[in-house]
C-alpha cells in the first residue's frame, strides 16, 4: 500500500504534536515532551524503512501484543509472546487449535475384500450399492467428511477389519 493512502488519526496525535511544538519553541521542559516526540519520530522512521514483508510481520506481532484479532476484537493473548518480532514468537502466539472435524479417506483395499469394503461403505454412508461401488473403485477417495474424531476412528477401524487402508485427515 502506498504511503500516500495511509490515514493517520489526527485527533490522537494532535495534543502530542502541539505539546512538542510548544516545548521546542519555548525551550522549557525540553526533557519530557521532546523525548516523547523524538521517540515517536524515530519509531515512525524505522517503520517506514521496513520492507513490505517486515511491515506485515510487524503488524501481526503488534496486533498480537495488543490482544486484537484480525478484525480488532480483543482476544486472549498468551502472557509471554517472546522477543520482538522473532518468527518463533509469532508462531507460538498463533498456535493451531485442535482439529474437531475429520475426513475418512479410503487409500486402498485388498482385491479379495472389495465386496466387504463396499458393504461397510454402504453401512455408514447410506448410499446404494451402485454409488458405494463407484466410490470404492475410485480409491484413494474421501468416503466421509466432517465427522467427529470418535466416529471417524470407528469407521476407520471397521474398514481396516475388512482389509482396507484408511487415513484420517
What does DSSP assign to residue 68? B
Same domain, 29 and 56: no
**Span 133-153, average pLDDT:** 87
Say if residues 168 and 104 touch (Cβ distance below 8 Å).
yes
Same domain, 123 and 89: no
- Distance, in Å, from the CA atom of 118 to the CA atom of 127, rounded to the nearest integer, reads 10
Same domain, 145 and 109: yes
Same domain, 117 and 162: yes
Same domain, 122 and 148: yes
Pick the more confident residue, 145 or 89.
Answer: 145
Q: Answer whether residue 19 is part of any domain.
A: yes
Integer CA distances (angstroms), 52 to 49, 55, 80, 85, in order:
10, 5, 26, 14
Integer CA distances (angstroms), 94 to 52, 84, 118, in order:
21, 15, 42
Mean pLDDT of the chain: 74
pTM: 0.42
Region of residue 11 (phi > 0: left; psi between -120 and 50: alpha; otherwise: beta): alpha
**Span 104-113, average pLDDT:** 88
Share of the chain above pLDDT 90, in %: 1
Give the CATH number of the domain where residue 140 resides: 3.30.1390.10
Residue 20 pLDDT more than 70? no
Q: Answer whether residue 2 is part of any domain.
A: no
Q: Answer whether residue 3 is part of any domain.
A: no
In the listed set 95, 128, 155, which residue is the last one of a domain according to the structure?
A: 95
At 10, the pLDDT band (50, 70, 90 cuts) reads very low
Question: Domain range spanning residue 42?
Answer: 8-49
Q: Answer whether residue 83 is part of any domain.
A: yes
The domain tally of the chain equals 3
**Span 53-70, average pLDDT:** 81
Share of the chain above pLDDT 70, in %: 62
Amino acid at each position: 500500500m502506498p504511503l500516500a493512502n495511509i490515514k493517520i488519526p489526527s485527533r490522537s496525535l494532535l495534543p502530542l504534536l502541539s505539546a512538542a511544538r510548544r516545548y521546542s519553541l519555548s525551550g522549557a521542559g525540553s526533557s519530557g515532551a521532546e523525548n516523547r516526540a523524538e521517540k515517536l519520530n524515530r519509531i515512525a522512521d524505522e517503520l517506514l524503512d521496513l520492507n513490505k514483508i517486515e511491515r506485515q510481520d510487524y503488524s501481526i506481532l503488534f496486533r498480537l501484543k495488543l490482544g486484537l484479532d484480525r478484525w480488532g476484537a480483543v482476544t486472549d493473548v498468551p502472557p509471554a509472546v517472546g522477543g520482538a518480532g522473532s518468527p518463533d514468537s509469532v508462531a507460538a502466539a498463533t498456535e493451531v487449535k485442535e482439529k474437531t472435524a475429520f475426513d475418512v479417506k479410503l487409500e486402498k483395499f485388498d482385491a479379495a475384500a472389495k465386496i466387504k469394503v463396499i458393504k461397510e461403505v454402504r453401512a455408514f454412508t447410506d448410499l446404494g450399492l451402485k454409488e458405494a461401488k463407484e466410490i470404492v473403485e475410485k480409491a484413494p477417495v474421501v468416503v466421509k467428511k466432517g465427522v467427529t474424531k470418535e466416529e471417524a476412528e470407528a469407521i476407520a477401524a471397521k474398514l481396516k477389519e475388512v482389509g482396507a487402508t484408511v487415513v484420517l485427515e
